[in-house]
Amino acid sequence: MTTNKTNKTDKSSPHPIPTLLMCRPTLYQVAYVINPWMEGNLGNSSQPRAMQQWEHLHATLSRLARVLLVDPVPGSPDMVFTANAGLARDGIVAISSFHHPERQAEEEHFRRWFVDAGYRIIDLPRDTSFEGEGDALFSTDGSTLWVGHGARTHRQSHTLLESLWPAKVESLHLTDPRFYHLDTCFSPLEDGSLLYYPPAFDAPSLARIHAVYAPEQRIAVTEEDALRFACNAVNLGRTIVLNHISPDLERTLRDRGFDVIQLALDEFLKAGGAAKCLVMKLTSEIHTAQSTSDPATRAA
């Protein structure tokens, strides 16, 4: 397990600094088609350009959080999208059970990483598809767990997730195949607002969202920004890191007090991912203890 240094320290705040999991795109390519974004892009990705874009994202996030790395594995080109590894909170991780066979080999490698890191491991049945943080996002205060279902994650998985954490599970049905994971069209922000694309959901799901988020808390993006994966954003404190967006959306976010950092991530859009897909949030306390007790985990 590798840890990259940041310019933040645990002593600078009463709360542990955020800890994220990433995977270098050394083996990344569009090698198969399992979502609409991959269609027409088989063999059309540039590995050097993807590495450059990933390095920029990694460097940006390393200034805001502790970033840990999982090694890429041959035969699993989508491991770079670590958001799909599982869902972690309070030292518990529900390991993903991938819908498509093309990604199922990733599960054992991510599982081993979390075992070595000291997490309590929860495995879902093979016939109950669940794709981690790609389809499950906690509200800022942790009281609500928003979970998508549709193209990838089965609704049956929601019951198990509800038993793992003291959070109310709200199920959201995704209806647009372009937004096949919840994190491509839905992003709870740390000021209590929501960045989302309403047409990606059915009417009952929108009613659930609107029952929780008042009109002034909702930031509905246009289709143009949605297709840039504007909602696939990494929000750390008052900073939002995401792919390039429209000036109007940038202005809206800045008016709410956010520092908006836009990065080119078009190489990953070819596979149906952007900033948030490339990151998984971890339990900071576990890794804080490790970095204190084991100098090897501090290596850059």
- Judge if pTM exceeds 0.85: yes
pLDDT single digits (tens) 267-281: 999 999 999 999 999
Is residue 93 pLDDT above 80, yes or no? yes
Contact 298, 42 (CB under 8 A): no
Closest CA relative to residue 253, chosen from 263, 238, 265? 238
Can you list the positions of beta strands (E) in 76-211? 86-89, 92-95, 120-123, 136-138, 144-149, 168-173, 186-188, 194-196
pLDDT for the residue 289:
59
Is residue 300 pLDDT above 80, yes or no? no
Is residue 13 pLDDT above 90, yes or no? no
Question: What average pLDDT does range 9-14 have in this prediction?
Answer: 43
pLDDT for the residue 5:
34
Work out the pLDDT band at 9, boundaries 50, 70, 90.
very low
Kindly report the number of other CB atoms within 10 A of residue 127's CB atom.
8
Rounded Cα distance, 263 and 247, in Å: 14
Which residue carries 């694309």 as its tokens?
Answer: 197
pLDDT for the residue 295:
32
pLDDT for the residue 290:
62
> Which positions are catalytic?
181, 277
Q: State the average pLDDT for the chain.
A: 91
Is residue 294 pLDDT above 80, yes or no? no
Structural domains of the chain, count: 1
Q: Give the phi and the psi of residue 259 in degrees, each rounded to 5.
A: -90, 120
pLDDT for the residue 229:
98
Work out the pLDDT band at 262, boundaries 50, 70, 90.
very high
Work out the pLDDT band at 15, boundaries 50, 70, 90.
low
Show the domain range for 136: 2-298
pLDDT for the residue 293:
41
pLDDT for the residue 277:
98
pLDDT single digits (tens) 117-152: 999 999 999 989 999 999 999 999 999 999 999 988
- Which CATH number fits the domain that encloses residue 269? 3.75.10.10
Contact 27, 77 (CB under 8 A): yes
pLDDT for the residue 16:
78
Question: What average pLDDT does range 42-67 have in this prediction?
Answer: 96
pLDDT for the residue 84:
97
Q: 196 burial class (0-12, 13-18, 19+ CB within 10 angstroms)?
A: buried
